Structures are given as C-alpha cells and as structure tokens.
Chains A and B, each alone.
Chain A
Amino acid sequence: MQASAAAARAMSLLAPARGTCIRTKVYPPQRDVTDEPPRIGVFICHCGSNIASVVDVEEVVRRTAVLPNVVLAEHNIYTCADDTQDTIKDKIGQYRLNRVIVASCTPRTHEAIFRDTLRDAGLNPYLLEMANIRDQCSWVHSAAPDSATRKAADLVRMAVGRAARLVPLTEDTVTVKGAALIIGGGVAGMTAALAMADQGFPVHLVEKSEALGGAARDLFRTLDGLDVQAFLAETIDRVIGHPRITVHLHSHVTQVEGHVGDFTSVITTGAKTRQVEHGVVVVATGAVEGKPTTFGYGQSPRVITQRDLSGQLARGELDLPKGATVAMLQCVEQRTADRPYCSRVCCTMAVQNALAVRERHPDARVVVLYRDMRTYGFREIAYKKARQAGVLFVRFDDDAPPGFSLGADGAIELTVRDAIVQRDLLMRPSVLVLAAPIVGQHDRQEVSDLLRIPINADGFFLEAHVKLRPVDFASEGLFLCGTAHAPKFLSETISQASAVAARAASILSRQTMPIGAQIARVDPDKCVSCMTCVHVCPYLAPIVGDDNKAQVQPTVCMGCGSCTSECPAKAITLHHYTDAQILGAIDRLLNAGPGPVGPGEGAYLEQVGVARPRWTEG
C-alpha cells in the first residue's frame, strides 16, 4: 500500500511524459491451427543442474517421444535462455508444431515468458502448456532420483494430455473512459481526487453532505501537532479550485452500470440528475463516531466523548473546577462480543487529550481506565510522556467493566476494580470522557447494493485481499480507501488514498484494456435457465439475457470456474480449463487416454444442440 502511494506521487510528477516511452512490440500474425491435428513439441529443461542433477532428463525425453501427438521431444540446458528460445521458435516452424510444452520450472514465473515465445513464432499463446518438474519435482525429491524421474515423466505426460486439447483464445479489449468517480468527500476522497487530477484524470467527487471534509472537520490536532483544520482548509481549496475536479455536494450516486474501464453512472443532486462516464470508482464514504448508549452519555453534559473533549480543548471551552478529576474510559461499546473490533484511534486520542488537559489544568487529575493501551508504533512515546506527566492509568479486566451511576445532583460516580492490585476504586470525576467506537455509515448497505461490494461483519467495506490487493475490491475497477474500509488514523487514510490513486491510474492511463481470455461462456443451446450459475457466481457475472438464457458478462467474469462446476446442464465452459483439457491430463496420467484425438473430439465431445442426445461413454 505504501508502495502504491509512493508510485502515485511519482506518477503525478511524471504525468506530462506518460505514454511517451512506450514501444509496442509487433508480433507476426497468428497461424490458424484449428483444423490441424495436434502436433506437440516438448522442451525439457535441465535448468542447469537444478533438474538434471536429480531427474534423468534423457529418460524423460525417451518416454515422452513415444506419446501420441508428440512430434518432437528434446532437452535443453536452459530453456529460458535467449538462444534456446530462438531454437524453440525455429523448431515450431520446422516441425509445424501447434502445441508447445515446456517442462521446467513453475508457470507462475515463466508462463508469460514462454507464451511470448509462442507469439513470436506466430502461435497463439494459449497453445503453451508447462510441466513443473523443478519446483514440484527435482527440488522436492532430490533424495529419490528414480522416483523423481518417473514423476517428471508423468507430469510431462499429463501436460501432453492437456496440450492436445488446448485451443487458441483471443483476448478482447474495452475502451477505457479515463475519468474517476469518487464517492465521499472526506480526506480520503479528496486526497484520491487530487492525486488523480494531478495526474491528469478528470474526477467527479460526490459528497452527500453540504460540505467537504468529513470526519476530519471535527479534528483539530494530530498527535504530532499538525493543525488539521488548516490542512483541511487548504485541501478543500485545492479541490474546489482544481480544473479537473467536479465537486457534487448534497449529492448521491444513484446508479452505476458497466464494468472496469467503462462505467456510466447517475449523480443525483436534489431533483437534478446528471450522467457521468468513468473508468473507475473509488469508495471513500468514511465512518462516523458511534454515539455511546451507556455510561450516562446524553443524560449528563459532563459525560462526553474523546472527540467532544478535543473540540472543547481546541476551542478553549473546557471549564474545570479546582482540583477536578477527569476520568477517561477506554473501549466503550467496542471490543465486545457485539462489536469485536478496535477503533484504533481512541487510545492515542485519550493520551493526547490527557496531556493537553494536564498542560492547561495542571491541578486536574486525569485517570485513564483501560483494558489495553493500544498506542501502537511511535505513539508509545506519547503514552510514556503521559505517564511521566502524572496521568494515572488504571487497568480493568474485560469481564469487570467499571460501574457507573449518575446522582440526582448530576454527580458521576465510577467504581472500578484495578486489575493489577485487585482493589476496588471509587471516583467522582467532574468529567467522564468516553472512547466511543468508530462505526460504518448508516447508509452503507445502499452503497453496497449499488456497487455490489461486500461489507464485513464489523460493518466496513471488505477489500479483495488483505495483503495482495489491499485497496481493491474483488470486482475490477472498484477501489476503497479511508475509514470506509476500517478505522484508521488520518495519516493512514492519506497514504491509502494515494495508493488508490496509483492503482486507479494503472487503469485510467490506458486507452484500451484487455479482458482475460480465461473466462466462462454459456452455450445457450444447452442452458435450461435454472439460475444455478446466477446464484453461485461470486461476482454476479452471469445474467439472464433477452433470450431467457444465461450469459456470462465477459468483463465481469474473473474466470474462477464456480459456475462451470455446478451448471447441471454442463452448458458452461471455462476457457483454457475445459473438461476435455482437464480430463485429458487425468486420463493420460492414468494411461486411460482414448488415443490420439484433436481438440473437441473423442470421449468428452462437447456436443451442441438441445434435441440431440448427449452421449458420454464410460
């Protein structure tokens, strides 16, 4: 995430030069192999001694050469070396190979390289198959070379079974609409807007309230002393003055249609609606302070939240009698069974406010009642400072929350069992400050329905993958930043928003973008409109078309195969993972193959036509 954020900064500096250094590689036209029987060439790699020191590569070649459809089997020291790749290209021409198997390392790192080799040789890149005889064979069976050799031969044989049934695939492209739609005009939305606009992309920033700023409008100073209001004012000015940012206040996004690169949405402002076209969507709808319902909040003006206190301190409104006690209670209505998460900022806010109280009212006693102090990272320094400044920290156990009562005269009484000395304490504070939770927006479900994005059990939007895709939604072209994702500090919000800008720019900066070829396709003749695919697809890619048959939206499908595994009519095929290809590998492994067959022939023939019976012989 930090890396993406840094990339965003760099990209805005480089914006004027974007696209000037790209050289497009030119490939020869692809040979049409549809009517050719499979002619497989197998290149078995020594990987220096990585493979060859364990696996008897020549033996694997011998066993492979006799398999049906294999017209060439040979071994090379380094298959990925430039000269070997040139040899492969030559052999493709010389032997009229139309399927290529490279038995070497892992396709996770090398598939792209060898696919490119095929393209250079005028073959469709999907006609490549790899057998992983290094990472998953020689390296893990170095102590058993014989068994490793047999296994390597098996892995290659499986690859032959699959390769014989590979078919060429083409990748479609969509034209990218180079603008962004950002929902939520808090710090996250504005930061992302500025970063994208600075990179040259038009931005629509939609804010439901009457002003930009969001939750930060109620923050005054960060722990390191930054003046949040000054920062906010400057940011808002830049946003409003930016020629490429259109701000829509008092507005909602009421409709989103399309897919990555090509969305059309409707922004509703009062009675007016406006249609906008864009290539990405950023969800920056933030979060709010959850108003406590316990500890007399709302019943007494002397029970306030940490945020109220920082406001009072900033405005110089905090009025304390001499020798007053200020009690701070942490983890209010959070880290409980009902709301298990931690709001991340409260402990630091408490420490910061405690220090400020001690500074302005040196005679006041500040007592922080806590379960765990989560002033993480360098915030620990402030925690230590607070202890040194005489702030009292009292730990209580999770199962022994403090008792509270509010007298008729408005007096607050707190009892708490100190978990360390195991003694009950009684205090009558002048002010009780509650660490209220940060909770998701009340209307988050509407946003979720609008964009079909998931909300987690805590009520925040869920990213695609915590580590691999932390600012993306699972659906392509949708991004997430700020507290809409989870409670976080302003600084974290800002770096996440910058990361989103970089991720989004990777889409917006393209003219067109390819749609993966490995996607599902419905054969309408076989579909019985049972809706199974519609129900099982995690991305809602299948829809029922005008003909009342299912169809998979190619730009939405991610190619997982769930639908193909469930369709009761076997009407759906996942390109590059067809039954014939998978069963071909299994059959070959177990020597049960139906003999030499071309793609689409043989036992697993995928017939079309509703009325015709579908034979599959066992």
Chain B
Amino acid sequence: MDTDQELVILALCCHYCAYAAADMAGSMRLQYPGSVRVLRFPCTSKIEVNYLLTAFERGIDGILVAGCLEGGCHFLEGNLRARRRVERAKKLLDEIGLGAGRLEMFNLSSAEGPRFAEIATEMHERVVELGPSPLRRGREAVLAGVAGMASLAEAVIAGEKT
C-alpha cells in the first residue's frame, strides 16, 4: 500500500481526445509527475458526480477531468455537460471544506501531447501545494489538522469571517 504515502491523482480522460493526447505525450517521451493515473471513459459525459465524490471519499488527492476542446467533443456536447457536472462537484467540495481546488476540468485536442503533460504537471503541483487528502485511510493525523481548517473554510463561505 505504497499509495498511502504518495500523492495519487486520477486523470479521468475521454477516449477520443484526452486519452489520445496522453498517449501522444508518451510517444513524444514528455515527462510528467508519476502521481497521475489515467482512467479511460468513452467521453467525459460519462463521468458522474458520484464517481468524483466516491474517489475523494476513498482518499484520492486530486482529480483532473480531461476532455476534448469545447466544440470538439466526439459526442457533440458531452464535454460541456461534463463541465457543468464538475462545477457542481467543485461546489460540493467547497461546501464540505475539502476544497474545490482538488478537482479541475481541462480541454485539449488529441494532438496536444505537450498540453497533457502540462496539465498533469499543473495538477500535481497544485495538489502538492494543497497537501495530501486528509480522507485517505492511514492519514488520520492529517485529518485532525484539517478539521480546524474545515470549520474555518465554512465560516468564510457563510460570510462570517473573511
């Protein structure tokens, strides 16, 4: 269970653009952090809010959702719907104090290998900054520290503090 120590970021990629771009990053031998694990979907529109939340609940440190360029989704508007769903999940993450920053949606074309490496790196750096998710099993210590932060975040959202 080495993953308990390392950061793990899920990249939920659509088959047609993002996954192909990730492959291209490989053919170009571009390097990006090893924390990123790709899971393939037919289209980002198959990514349910529930999958995102479940992954966070299980302790994932960050998720990047990557689909085709807007207007370029293989299924017409799948990525536009996915974006709405990601926004909803982000709102919930903010609400509970885990923070929307751990989740982001990106759009790229199948030819953008370098862009894939770039977003993988960007997301990794962001998660490094946010620190490991306190929700992973075996990270109870982190959790204790976060409990205080969560109530603070909430107070900010509720407008009680700034």
Contact = CB atoms under 8 A, between A and B. Distances in A.
Contacts of B85: 565
Interface string B28-58: 0111101001111111011111110011011
A139 B23 CA distance: 9
Contacts of A151: 34, 37
B8 interface: yes
B98 interface: no
A560 B3 contact: no
Contacts of B160: none
Per CB-CB distance, the 4 closest pairs between chain A and chain B, nearest first, are A561-B46, A135-B26, A147-B34, A560-B75
B23 A108 contact: yes
B66 interface: no
Nearest to B52: A586
B81 interface: yes
Interface residues of A, number: 49
A589 B51 contact: no
A68 interface: no
Contacts of B37: 151, 154-155, 158, 589
B34 A591 contact: no
24 contacts: A108-B15, A135-B26, A140-B32, A142-B31, A150-B34, A151-B34, A154-B3, A155-B37, A465-B74, A468-B74, A538-B77, A560-B43, A565-B46, A574-B42, A574-B46, A582-B39, A585-B39, A586-B60, A587-B58, A590-B3, A590-B8, A590-B55, A591-B1, A592-B58
Interface string A519-558: 0000000000000000010110000000000000000001
Interface string B7-38: 01010000100011011011101111010011
Given A136-B26, A577-B46, A590 B75 contact: no
Interface in A136-180: 136, 139-144, 147-148, 150-151, 154-155, 158
B45 A139 contact: no
Interface in A563-596: 564-566, 574, 577, 579, 582-583, 585-587, 589-592
Interface of A: 106-108, 132, 134-136, 139-144, 147-148, 150-151, 154-155, 158, 454, 465, 468, 474, 518, 536, 538-539, 558-562, 564-566, 574, 577, 579, 582-583, 585-587, 589-592, 618
Contact of B20 (A108, A141, A562): A108
Interface residues on B, range: 35 or more
A590 B42 contact: no
Contacts of B51: 582-583, 586
Contacts of A586: 10, 39, 51, 54-55, 58, 60
Contact of B45 (A150, A474, A560, A582): A560
Contacts of A465: 72, 74
Given A106-B23, A561-B46, A590 B59 contact: yes
Contacts of A140: 25-26, 29-32, 117
A562 B58 contact: no
A107 B30 contact: no
Contacts of B91: none
Contacts of B1: 591
A21 to B, nearest CB: 32
B162 to A, nearest CB: 34
Interface in B58-95: 58-60, 72, 74-78, 81-82, 85
B3 A589 contact: yes
A523 B48 CA distance: 18
Given A158-B39, A468-B74, A583-B54, 5 more contacts: A139-B29, A144-B34, A154-B8, A586-B58, A589-B3
Contacts of B75: 474, 538, 558, 560, 562
A591 B57 CA distance: 12
Given A565-B48, A589-B3, A589-B10, A577 B42 contact: yes
Contacts of B22: 135-136
A560 B42 contact: yes
Contacts of A582: 39, 41, 51
A441 B32 CA distance: 51
A109 to B, nearest CB: 8
A150 B2 contact: yes
Contacts of B82: 565
B6 interface: yes
Contacts of A132: 23, 38
B137 interface: yes
A589 B29 CA distance: 25
A587 B37 CA distance: 13
A142 B26 CA distance: 10
A135 B23 contact: yes
Nearest to B50: A579
B58 to A, nearest CB: 4
Given A558-B75, A586-B10, A107 B58 contact: no
Nearest to A536: B81
Contact of A134 (B4, B8, B26, B34): B26
Interface in B88-138: 117, 136-137
Given A108-B19, A465-B72, A589-B37, A561 B42 contact: yes
Nearest to B109: A467
A560 B15 contact: no
